[in-house]
Protein backbone atom coordinates (compact mmCIF):
# COMPACT_ATOMS: atom_id res chain seq x y z
CA UNK A 1 0.00 0.00 0.00
CA UNK A 2 1.48 3.36 -0.92
CA UNK A 3 0.41 5.69 1.88
CA UNK A 4 1.37 9.36 1.91
CA UNK A 5 4.43 10.54 3.82
CA UNK A 6 2.11 12.33 6.24
CA UNK A 7 -0.04 9.25 6.86
CA UNK A 8 3.09 7.23 7.56
CA UNK A 9 4.45 9.82 9.98
CA UNK A 10 1.34 9.93 12.22
CA UNK A 11 1.30 7.69 15.28
CA UNK A 12 -1.82 5.98 16.57
CA UNK A 13 -3.56 7.72 19.49
CA UNK A 14 -2.19 5.89 22.56
CA UNK A 15 -5.37 6.44 24.56
CA UNK A 16 -7.59 5.03 21.81
CA UNK A 17 -5.28 2.01 21.53
CA UNK A 18 -5.46 1.39 25.28
CA UNK A 19 -9.27 1.66 25.17
CA UNK A 20 -9.29 -1.01 22.49
CA UNK A 21 -7.10 -3.39 24.52
CA UNK A 22 -9.17 -2.77 27.66
CA UNK A 23 -12.41 -3.42 25.73
CA UNK A 24 -11.09 -6.69 24.36
CA UNK A 25 -10.14 -7.83 27.87
CA UNK A 26 -13.54 -6.76 29.23
CA UNK A 27 -15.32 -8.70 26.51
CA UNK A 28 -13.44 -11.77 27.73
CA UNK A 29 -14.87 -11.10 31.19
CA UNK A 30 -11.69 -9.63 32.72
CA UNK A 31 -12.33 -7.11 35.55
CA UNK A 32 -10.46 -4.19 33.99
CA UNK A 33 -10.32 -0.84 35.81
CA UNK A 34 -9.88 2.06 33.41
CA UNK A 35 -7.87 4.91 34.92
CA UNK A 36 -6.79 6.10 31.48
CA UNK A 37 -9.97 7.88 30.42
CA UNK A 38 -10.38 11.46 29.25
CA UNK A 39 -14.06 12.17 29.81
CA UNK A 40 -16.31 12.96 32.78
CA UNK A 41 -19.02 10.46 33.53
CA UNK A 42 -21.83 12.91 34.42
CA UNK A 43 -24.82 13.34 32.12
CA UNK A 44 -24.98 16.05 29.46
CA UNK A 45 -27.08 19.09 30.56
CA UNK A 46 -30.83 18.66 30.12
CA UNK A 47 -31.03 21.89 28.08
CA UNK A 48 -28.66 20.38 25.52
CA UNK A 49 -30.63 17.17 25.30
CA UNK A 50 -33.97 18.97 24.87
CA UNK A 51 -32.61 21.35 22.20
CA UNK A 52 -30.98 18.53 20.23
CA UNK A 53 -34.06 16.30 20.49
CA UNK A 54 -36.33 19.22 19.46
CA UNK A 55 -34.43 19.82 16.25
CA UNK A 56 -34.17 16.11 15.55
CA UNK A 57 -37.92 15.60 15.84
CA UNK A 58 -38.59 18.56 13.50
CA UNK A 59 -36.87 16.66 10.69
CA UNK A 60 -35.51 20.00 9.38
CA UNK A 61 -31.82 19.31 9.77
CA UNK A 62 -29.84 21.17 7.12
CA UNK A 63 -26.41 22.52 6.33
CA UNK A 64 -25.36 25.36 8.58
CA UNK A 65 -22.93 28.21 7.85
CA UNK A 66 -19.43 26.66 7.94
CA UNK A 67 -18.40 28.82 10.92
CA UNK A 68 -21.45 27.74 12.95
CA UNK A 69 -25.07 28.72 13.61
CA UNK A 70 -25.69 32.20 14.86
CA UNK A 71 -27.15 30.94 18.18
CA UNK A 72 -23.92 29.08 19.00
CA UNK A 73 -21.64 31.93 17.94
CA UNK A 74 -23.66 34.36 20.06
CA UNK A 75 -23.51 31.92 22.99
CA UNK A 76 -19.71 31.80 22.63
CA UNK A 77 -19.57 35.61 22.57
CA UNK A 78 -21.61 35.67 25.78
CA UNK A 79 -19.40 32.96 27.31
CA UNK A 80 -16.25 34.89 26.43
CA UNK A 81 -17.63 38.05 27.98
CA UNK A 82 -18.67 36.26 31.15
CA UNK A 83 -15.58 34.08 31.67
CA UNK A 84 -12.82 36.15 30.07
CA UNK A 85 -14.16 39.69 30.57
CA UNK A 86 -13.82 40.39 26.86
CA UNK A 87 -16.57 41.44 24.45
CA UNK A 88 -15.96 39.89 21.03
CA UNK A 89 -18.10 39.94 17.90
CA UNK A 90 -19.66 36.78 16.37
CA UNK A 91 -17.22 37.43 13.49
CA UNK A 92 -14.43 36.50 15.90
CA UNK A 93 -15.88 33.02 16.45
CA UNK A 94 -15.73 29.76 14.53
CA UNK A 95 -17.54 26.67 15.84
CA UNK A 96 -15.94 23.33 15.02
CA UNK A 97 -16.21 19.59 15.59
CA UNK A 98 -14.57 19.65 19.01
CA UNK A 99 -11.76 21.84 20.31
CA UNK A 100 -9.51 19.36 18.53
CA UNK A 101 -10.70 20.49 15.11
CA UNK A 102 -10.51 24.15 16.10
CA UNK A 103 -6.81 23.68 16.95
CA UNK A 104 -6.15 21.68 13.79
CA UNK A 105 -7.81 24.25 11.52
CA UNK A 106 -6.01 27.13 13.28
CA UNK A 107 -2.70 25.36 12.60
CA UNK A 108 -3.64 24.78 8.97
CA UNK A 109 -4.50 28.44 8.61
CA UNK A 110 -1.11 29.72 9.78
CA UNK A 111 1.58 27.02 9.48
CA UNK A 112 3.77 26.31 6.47
CA UNK A 113 5.93 23.20 6.06
CA UNK A 114 8.98 23.30 8.38
CA UNK A 115 7.47 25.96 10.65
CA UNK A 116 7.86 25.19 14.34
CA UNK A 117 5.20 25.01 17.06
CA UNK A 118 6.49 25.36 20.61
CA UNK A 119 4.69 24.02 23.72
CA UNK A 120 5.71 23.03 27.25
CA UNK A 121 6.14 19.34 28.15
CA UNK A 122 4.27 17.37 29.25
CA UNK A 123 1.87 18.13 26.40
CA UNK A 124 -1.36 16.81 24.93
CA UNK A 125 -0.58 13.88 22.61
CA UNK A 126 -2.25 15.48 19.59
CA UNK A 127 -0.12 18.67 19.33
CA UNK A 128 2.93 17.03 17.68
CA UNK A 129 0.75 14.95 15.35
CA UNK A 130 -1.33 17.98 14.32
CA UNK A 131 1.85 19.90 13.57
CA UNK A 132 3.01 16.97 11.42
CA UNK A 133 -0.31 17.02 9.54
CA UNK A 134 0.66 20.57 8.47
CA UNK A 135 4.19 19.49 7.54
CA UNK A 136 5.34 21.52 10.55
CA UNK A 137 7.43 20.48 13.55
CA UNK A 138 6.37 20.30 17.21
CA UNK A 139 9.00 21.50 19.68
CA UNK A 140 8.39 20.48 23.32
CA UNK A 141 9.98 22.57 26.07
CA UNK A 142 11.07 20.46 29.02
CA UNK A 143 11.50 22.10 32.44
CA UNK A 144 15.06 21.60 33.65
CA UNK A 145 13.92 20.87 37.20
CA UNK A 146 11.79 17.95 35.97
CA UNK A 147 8.61 19.86 36.91
CA UNK A 148 5.55 20.71 34.87
CA UNK A 149 6.23 24.39 34.16
CA UNK A 150 9.35 25.41 32.23
CA UNK A 151 10.85 28.82 32.88
CA UNK A 152 10.31 31.69 30.48
CA UNK A 153 14.00 31.46 29.61
CA UNK A 154 13.48 27.77 28.67
CA UNK A 155 10.60 28.82 26.39
CA UNK A 156 12.60 31.66 24.85
CA UNK A 157 15.54 29.32 24.19
CA UNK A 158 13.38 27.05 22.04
CA UNK A 159 11.86 29.91 20.04
CA UNK A 160 13.80 30.54 16.86
CA UNK A 161 13.49 31.95 13.35
CA UNK A 162 11.27 29.01 12.28
CA UNK A 163 8.83 29.37 15.20
CA UNK A 164 5.38 30.50 14.15
CA UNK A 165 3.17 29.41 17.02
CA UNK A 166 3.13 28.65 20.73
CA UNK A 167 0.49 26.52 22.49
CA UNK A 168 -0.39 26.63 26.19
CA UNK A 169 -2.85 24.25 27.80
CA UNK A 170 -3.67 25.16 31.38
CA UNK A 171 -4.77 23.40 33.49
CA UNK A 172 -2.86 20.81 31.61
CA UNK A 173 -3.50 17.41 30.17
CA UNK A 174 -1.74 15.19 31.40
CA UNK A 175 -0.35 16.87 34.56
CA UNK A 176 -3.39 18.74 35.91
CA UNK A 177 -0.91 21.58 36.49
CA UNK A 178 -2.13 25.13 36.09
CA UNK A 179 0.60 27.55 34.92
CA UNK A 180 1.19 30.58 37.08
CA UNK A 181 -0.24 33.93 36.02
CA UNK A 182 3.33 35.26 35.71
CA UNK A 183 4.28 32.44 33.35
CA UNK A 184 1.21 32.89 31.11
CA UNK A 185 1.74 36.68 31.10
CA UNK A 186 5.40 36.16 30.17
CA UNK A 187 4.50 33.84 27.28
CA UNK A 188 1.86 36.31 26.03
CA UNK A 189 4.46 39.09 26.09
CA UNK A 190 7.05 36.91 24.37
CA UNK A 191 4.60 36.00 21.59
CA UNK A 192 3.62 39.63 21.09
CA UNK A 193 7.27 40.69 20.97
CA UNK A 194 8.17 37.99 18.44
CA UNK A 195 4.95 38.25 16.39
CA UNK A 196 3.95 34.62 17.14
CA UNK A 197 0.49 33.08 17.18
CA UNK A 198 -0.51 31.87 20.64
CA UNK A 199 -3.16 29.17 21.04
CA UNK A 200 -4.62 29.06 24.54
CA UNK A 201 -6.13 25.59 24.76
CA UNK A 202 -8.61 26.33 27.54
CA UNK A 203 -10.63 23.12 27.33
CA UNK A 204 -10.22 22.53 31.13
CA UNK A 205 -10.14 26.19 32.23
CA UNK A 206 -13.08 26.01 34.65
CA UNK A 207 -12.15 22.62 36.10
CA UNK A 208 -9.83 24.13 38.73
CA UNK A 209 -9.46 23.20 42.42
CA UNK A 210 -8.55 24.74 45.79
CA UNK A 211 -10.21 28.07 45.03
CA UNK A 212 -8.13 28.79 41.91
CA UNK A 213 -9.70 31.12 39.35
CA UNK A 214 -9.35 30.67 35.56
CA UNK A 215 -6.86 33.05 33.92
CA UNK A 216 -8.22 35.27 31.15
CA UNK A 217 -5.48 35.64 28.60
CA UNK A 218 -7.15 38.78 27.23
CA UNK A 219 -6.41 40.56 30.50
CA UNK A 220 -2.71 39.84 30.01
CA UNK A 221 -2.41 40.88 26.38
CA UNK A 222 -1.09 44.32 25.45
CA UNK A 223 -2.37 44.03 21.90
CA UNK A 224 -6.12 44.54 22.23
CA UNK A 225 -6.60 45.17 18.51
CA UNK A 226 -8.36 42.91 16.02
CA UNK A 227 -4.95 42.12 14.57
CA UNK A 228 -4.01 40.20 17.71
CA UNK A 229 -2.50 36.74 17.14
CA UNK A 230 -4.21 35.22 20.17
CA UNK A 231 -6.40 32.19 19.50
CA UNK A 232 -8.55 31.03 22.42
CA UNK A 233 -9.90 27.50 22.03
CA UNK A 234 -12.57 25.90 24.14
CA UNK A 235 -15.55 23.53 23.87
CA UNK A 236 -18.34 21.72 25.64
CA UNK A 237 -16.60 18.31 25.88
CA UNK A 238 -15.07 18.45 29.32
CA UNK A 239 -16.87 21.01 31.50
CA UNK A 240 -20.35 20.04 30.23
CA UNK A 241 -19.52 16.32 29.95
CA UNK A 242 -20.47 16.43 26.25
CA UNK A 243 -17.45 14.69 24.67
CA UNK A 244 -19.51 12.74 22.13
CA UNK A 245 -21.29 15.88 20.89
CA UNK A 246 -18.02 17.01 19.30
CA UNK A 247 -18.54 20.77 19.58
CA UNK A 248 -15.74 23.24 20.25
CA UNK A 249 -14.78 26.70 19.03
CA UNK A 250 -12.00 29.15 18.38
CA UNK A 251 -12.05 32.88 19.17
CA UNK A 252 -9.52 34.91 17.17
CA UNK A 253 -9.10 37.93 14.93
CA UNK A 254 -11.66 38.27 12.10
CA UNK A 255 -9.21 37.69 9.25
CA UNK A 256 -7.92 34.50 10.82
CA UNK A 257 -11.48 33.27 11.54
CA UNK A 258 -12.32 33.93 7.87
CA UNK A 259 -9.32 31.87 6.72
CA UNK A 260 -10.13 29.09 9.19
CA UNK A 261 -13.77 29.05 8.08
CA UNK A 262 -12.64 28.76 4.48
CA UNK A 263 -10.58 25.69 5.34
CA UNK A 264 -13.26 24.12 7.53
CA UNK A 265 -15.87 24.77 4.83
CA UNK A 266 -13.97 22.52 2.44
CA UNK A 267 -13.21 19.90 5.06
CA UNK A 268 -16.56 19.31 6.77
CA UNK A 269 -18.88 22.25 5.91
CA UNK A 270 -18.91 22.84 9.68
CA UNK A 271 -20.06 20.75 12.63
CA UNK A 272 -23.39 18.88 12.81
CA UNK A 273 -26.44 21.18 13.01
CA UNK A 274 -28.09 19.09 15.71
CA UNK A 275 -25.11 19.19 18.00
CA UNK A 276 -24.52 22.91 17.50
CA UNK A 277 -28.05 23.60 18.77
CA UNK A 278 -27.41 21.29 21.72
CA UNK A 279 -24.10 23.02 22.55
CA UNK A 280 -25.67 26.50 22.32
CA UNK A 281 -28.36 25.36 24.78
CA UNK A 282 -25.72 23.96 27.16
CA UNK A 283 -23.90 27.31 27.13
CA UNK A 284 -27.02 29.40 27.72
CA UNK A 285 -28.97 26.98 29.97
CA UNK A 286 -28.68 26.02 33.64
CA UNK A 287 -25.01 26.11 34.63
CA UNK A 288 -25.05 24.24 37.96
CA UNK A 289 -23.75 21.04 36.29
CA UNK A 290 -20.32 22.60 35.68
CA UNK A 291 -19.80 23.43 39.35
CA UNK A 292 -21.10 20.09 40.55
CA UNK A 293 -18.73 18.30 38.13
CA UNK A 294 -15.85 20.48 39.36
CA UNK A 295 -16.64 19.62 43.00
CA UNK A 296 -16.87 15.90 42.24
CA UNK A 297 -13.53 15.99 40.45
CA UNK A 298 -11.88 17.89 43.30
CA UNK A 299 -13.11 15.27 45.75
CA UNK A 300 -11.91 12.46 43.44
CA UNK A 301 -8.52 14.15 43.21
CA UNK A 302 -8.26 14.24 47.00
CA UNK A 303 -9.07 10.54 47.28
CA UNK A 304 -6.52 9.71 44.59
CA UNK A 305 -3.83 11.83 46.25
CA UNK A 306 -4.34 10.16 49.59
CA UNK A 307 -3.86 6.75 47.94
CA UNK A 308 -0.85 7.84 45.88
CA UNK A 309 0.86 9.37 48.88
CA UNK A 310 0.75 5.93 50.55
CA UNK A 311 3.30 4.68 48.00
CA UNK A 312 6.88 4.87 49.19
CA UNK A 313 8.50 5.49 45.83
CA UNK A 314 5.93 7.57 43.96
CA UNK A 315 6.41 11.32 43.62
CA UNK A 316 3.21 13.17 42.95
CA UNK A 317 2.68 16.85 42.17
CA UNK A 318 -0.75 17.95 43.35
CA UNK A 319 -2.97 18.51 40.28
CA UNK A 320 -4.49 22.02 40.28
CA UNK A 321 -7.37 21.04 37.99
CA UNK A 322 -8.62 18.77 35.14
CA UNK A 323 -9.21 15.09 35.98
CA UNK A 324 -5.67 13.86 35.47
CA UNK A 325 -2.66 13.28 37.67
CA UNK A 326 0.83 12.56 36.38
CA UNK A 327 2.83 10.84 39.12
CA UNK A 328 6.48 9.93 38.75
CA UNK A 329 7.05 6.16 39.00
CA UNK A 330 10.78 6.28 38.21
CA UNK A 331 11.60 4.53 41.47
CA UNK A 332 9.69 1.45 40.29
CA UNK A 333 10.17 1.56 36.51
CA UNK A 334 11.74 4.12 34.19
CA UNK A 335 10.08 2.88 31.01
CA UNK A 336 6.48 4.14 31.17
CA UNK A 337 5.24 1.94 28.31
CA UNK A 338 6.64 -1.14 30.07
CA UNK A 339 5.01 -0.01 33.31
CA UNK A 340 1.58 0.58 31.73
CA UNK A 341 1.70 -2.83 30.01
CA UNK A 342 2.81 -4.49 33.24
CA UNK A 343 -0.10 -2.96 35.20
CA UNK A 344 -2.63 -4.02 32.58
CA UNK A 345 -1.16 -7.50 32.38
CA UNK A 346 -0.76 -8.19 36.11
CA UNK A 347 -3.61 -6.30 37.77
CA UNK A 348 -5.86 -5.24 34.89
CA UNK A 349 -5.54 -1.50 35.46
CA UNK A 350 -5.30 0.93 32.53
CA UNK A 351 -3.00 3.98 32.86
CA UNK A 352 -1.44 5.99 30.03
CA UNK A 353 2.37 5.97 29.56
CA UNK A 354 4.06 9.34 30.15
CA UNK A 355 6.23 8.79 27.07
CA UNK A 356 3.23 9.71 24.89
CA UNK A 357 3.04 13.10 26.64
CA UNK A 358 6.78 13.74 26.33
CA UNK A 359 7.82 12.71 29.87
CA UNK A 360 9.25 9.29 30.65
CA UNK A 361 8.93 7.64 34.04
CA UNK A 362 5.47 9.14 34.63
CA UNK A 363 2.05 7.69 33.91
CA UNK A 364 -1.24 9.55 33.56
CA UNK A 365 -3.86 8.41 36.02
CA UNK A 366 -7.37 9.80 35.50
CA UNK A 367 -9.86 10.42 38.27
CA UNK A 368 -12.95 11.09 36.18
CA UNK A 369 -14.42 7.67 37.06
CA UNK A 370 -16.05 6.48 40.28
CA UNK A 371 -14.43 6.60 43.73
CA UNK A 372 -14.54 2.80 43.72
CA UNK A 373 -12.55 2.68 40.47
CA UNK A 374 -9.99 5.06 41.94
CA UNK A 375 -9.55 3.24 45.27
CA UNK A 376 -9.60 -0.28 43.82
CA UNK A 377 -7.36 0.73 40.92
CA UNK A 378 -4.81 2.32 43.24
CA UNK A 379 -4.93 -0.63 45.62
CA UNK A 380 -4.09 -2.93 42.71
CA UNK A 381 -1.28 -0.70 41.43
CA UNK A 382 0.25 -0.45 44.87
CA UNK A 383 0.05 -4.19 45.37
CA UNK A 384 1.79 -4.76 42.03
CA UNK A 385 4.67 -2.38 42.73
CA UNK A 386 5.20 -1.64 46.38
CA UNK A 387 6.88 -4.34 48.50
CA UNK A 388 5.38 -2.65 51.58
CA UNK A 389 1.80 -3.15 50.35
CA UNK A 390 -0.26 -5.89 52.02
CA UNK A 391 0.55 -9.27 50.51
CA UNK A 392 -2.91 -10.39 49.50
CA UNK A 393 -5.00 -9.12 46.61
CA UNK A 394 -8.24 -10.48 45.25
CA UNK A 395 -9.60 -9.53 41.85
CA UNK A 396 -13.18 -10.80 42.04
CA UNK A 397 -12.89 -14.34 43.43
CA UNK A 398 -9.33 -14.73 42.14
CA UNK A 399 -6.51 -14.51 44.65
CA UNK A 400 -3.40 -13.14 42.98
CA UNK A 401 0.10 -14.32 43.75
CA UNK A 402 2.83 -11.70 43.70
CA UNK A 403 5.84 -13.64 42.51
CA UNK A 404 7.78 -10.75 40.95
CA UNK A 405 8.67 -8.69 44.04
C1 LIG B 1 -5.68 19.43 26.05
C2 LIG B 1 -6.83 19.06 25.19
N3 LIG B 1 -7.19 19.89 24.20
C4 LIG B 1 -8.21 19.63 23.39
C5 LIG B 1 -8.94 18.45 23.54
C6 LIG B 1 -10.04 18.18 22.55
O7 LIG B 1 -11.30 18.27 23.06
P8 LIG B 1 -12.58 18.08 22.13
O9 LIG B 1 -13.30 16.88 22.67
O10 LIG B 1 -13.38 19.32 22.30
O11 LIG B 1 -12.14 17.88 20.74
C12 LIG B 1 -8.61 17.54 24.55
C13 LIG B 1 -9.32 16.28 24.69
O14 LIG B 1 -8.90 15.33 25.31
C15 LIG B 1 -7.53 17.87 25.41
O16 LIG B 1 -7.17 17.06 26.41
> 316 — phi, psi (to 5°)?
-125, 130
How many angstroms does the Cα of residue 171 sit away from the middle of ligand 1? 12
What pLDDT, on a 0 to 100 scale, did the predictor assign at position 14?
67
- Under the banding of pLDDT at 50, 70 and 90, the label for residue 382 is very high
Closest ligand 1 atom, residue 235 Cα? 10
Closest CA to 249 of 69, 108, 117: 69
Query: Could you give the CA distance from residue 351 to residue 405 in angstroms, rounded to a whole number?
Result: 21
* Residue with CA at minimum distance from ligand 1 atom 16: 173
How many angstroms does the Cα of residue 76 sit away from the middle of ligand 1? 17
Q: What residues are in contact with ligand 1 under a 6 Å CB criterion? A: 38, 98-100, 124, 169, 173, 201, 203, 235, 237, 243, 248
How many angstroms does the Cα of residue 243 sit away from the middle of ligand 1? 9
How many angstroms does the Cα of residue 249 sit away from the middle of ligand 1? 11
Closest ligand 1 atom, residue 236 Cα? 10
What pLDDT, on a 0 to 100 scale, did the predictor assign at position 371?
96
Q: What is the mean pLDDT of residues 312-323?
A: 95
> 276 — phi, psi (to 5°)?
-65, -45
Using CA atoms, how far residue 60 sits from 67, 96, 199, 316, in Å, is 19, 21, 36, 52
Mutate to test the pocket of ligand 1, among 16, 128, 176, 238 (most ligand atoms within 8 A of CB): 238
- Where exactly are the structural domains of the chain? 5-43+288-400, 46-284
Query: Could you give the CA distance from residue 41 to residue 56 in angstroms, rounded to a whole number?
Result: 24
How big is the CA angle at 146 (ends 141 and 147), to the nearest 5 degrees? 85
What pLDDT, on a 0 to 100 scale, did the predictor assign at position 349?
96
pLDDT digits (tens, 9 = 90+) for 333-349: 999 999 999 999 999 99
How many angstroms does the Cα of residue 78 sit away from the middle of ligand 1? 21
How big is the CA angle at 318 (ends 21 and 350), to the nearest 5 degrees? 10
How many angstroms does the Cα of residue 392 sit away from the middle of ligand 1? 39
Closest ligand 1 atom, residue 39 Cα? 14
Closest ligand 1 atom, residue 169 Cα? 1
Closest CA to 352 of 29, 104, 34, 36: 36
List of residues 6+ apart from 239 with CB closer than 8 A: 204, 206, 207, 290, 293, 294
How many angstroms does the Cα of residue 311 sit away from the middle of ligand 1? 30
- Under the banding of pLDDT at 50, 70 and 90, the label for residue 13 is confident
What pLDDT, on a 0 to 100 scale, did the predictor assign at position 31?
92
What strands, in cross-sheet order, belong to the sheet with 363-366?
324-325, 363-366, 352-353
Q: Which of 1-10, 17-26, 324-333, 381-390 has the highest mean pLDDT?
A: 324-333
Mutate to test the pocket of ligand 1, among 14, 16, 37, 99 (most ligand atoms within 8 A of CB): 99
How many angstroms does the Cα of residue 386 sit away from the middle of ligand 1? 33
Mean pLDDT of the chain: 95
Closest ligand 1 atom, residue 247 Cα? 10
Q: What is the mean pLDDT of residues 290-317?
A: 95
Cα 231 from chain centre: 16
Please, are residues 22 and 353 in contact by the beta-carbon 8 Å criterion? no
Architecture of domain 5-43+288-400: Alpha-Beta Complex (3.90)
Closest ligand 1 atom, residue 100 Cα? 11
Mutate to test the pocket of ligand 1, among 203, 272, 283 (most ligand atoms within 8 A of CB): 203
What pLDDT, on a 0 to 100 scale, did the predictor assign at position 66?
98
- Under the banding of pLDDT at 50, 70 and 90, the label for residue 62 is very high
Please, are residues 41 and 242 in contact by the beta-carbon 8 Å criterion? no
> pLDDT at residue 260 above 90?
yes
Reported CATH class of domain 46-284: alpha beta
User: Cα torsion for 395, 344, 171, 271, to the nearest 10°?
Assistant: -110
What pLDDT, on a 0 to 100 scale, did the predictor assign at position 254?
97
Amino acid sequence: MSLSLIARSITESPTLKLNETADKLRQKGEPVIHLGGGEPKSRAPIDALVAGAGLLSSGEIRYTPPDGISALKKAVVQYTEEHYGRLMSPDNVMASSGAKQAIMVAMQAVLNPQDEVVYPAPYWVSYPEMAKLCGAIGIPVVAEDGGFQPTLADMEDRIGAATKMVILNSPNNPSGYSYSREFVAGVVELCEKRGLYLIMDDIYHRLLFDGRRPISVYELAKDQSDGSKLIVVNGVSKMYAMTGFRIGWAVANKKLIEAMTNIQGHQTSGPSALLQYAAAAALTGIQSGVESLRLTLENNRNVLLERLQAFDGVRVTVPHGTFYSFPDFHAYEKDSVKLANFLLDKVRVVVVPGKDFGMEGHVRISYCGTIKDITTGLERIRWALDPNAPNELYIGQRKLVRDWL
